[in-house]
Amino acid sequence: MAGLTSSTIGRKYAMALSAMFLLIFLIMHLTVNFLSVFGPDAFNAASDFMGYNPLIQFIMQPVLGFAVIFHFVLGFILEIKNRKARPVKYAVNNGAANSSWMSRNMLISGLVILAFLVLHMYDFWWHEINFKYIERNEVDNLRYWGELHERFGNIWRVILYVVSFVLLGLHLAHGFQSSFQSIGARHPKYTPTIKTLGKWYSILIPAGFIFIAVFHFLTQ
């Protein structure tokens, strides 16, 4: 790992791999959460399986936590090194003519997403840890849907989630394509397809999460 992150190319490659891992996780996370739209039964069953499965709890969950921290920390390191590489600003810098808004503001959108993750972890992960390991409550495999539904009864929380997912979409719009480019997947034949997939991914994934939040708010 030290060798992989010791060079600029290595850091970008590692950043891309962590991004791809998180892209896959978002699909899985959305799939499970979307079950809540169809009622408590399927969502409760899926959540209970994930909440008490040792493979998920003691292997996949720590790996996911490491990937999130690694991705954000490495992103900040890359941004700092990029800024140091050009300490003197150009006399004329028309950023909009040379790059997209998303690519120029990945750090900003990343910081907002990180702040959102803290809230999201407090809302669900910390509550779950407290329920199972601190208070040591009895197993209640029917609680998940009700807890999710209750969280989105607050209009301000829903608004915050919507704004965060919009920024996530902007982050993904650049990050999806950039991750493939960083590992060398750049070819006249394949790049247009990657761009198209990235565009739809950055729209559909955030839109799915937004739909879930709004759905539960409107069905209170």
The residue type of 176 is: F
Residue 2 lies in a domain: no
pLDDT tens digits along 43-52: 999 999 998 8
Place of tokens 């997947």: 185
Residue 90 lies in a domain: no
pLDDT tens digits along 37-72: 999 999 999 999 998 899 998 999 999 999 999 999
Residue 99 lies in a domain: no
Q: Does position 89 have pLDDT exceeding 80, yes or no? A: no
23 is in which domain, residue-wise? 8-82+105-218
Q: Would you place residue 213 in the very low, low, confident or very high pLDDT band (cuts 50, 70, 90)? A: very high
Residues in the chain: 220
Residue 167 lies in a domain: yes
pLDDT of residue 99: 63
Q: Does position 87 have pLDDT exceeding 70, yes or no? A: no
Termini Cα distance of the chain: 48
Q: Is 81 exposed, middle or buried (0-12, 13-18, 19+ CB in 10 A)?
A: exposed
Read off the CATH number of the domain in which 109 is found.
Answer: 1.20.1300.10
Q: What is the pTM of this model?
A: 0.87
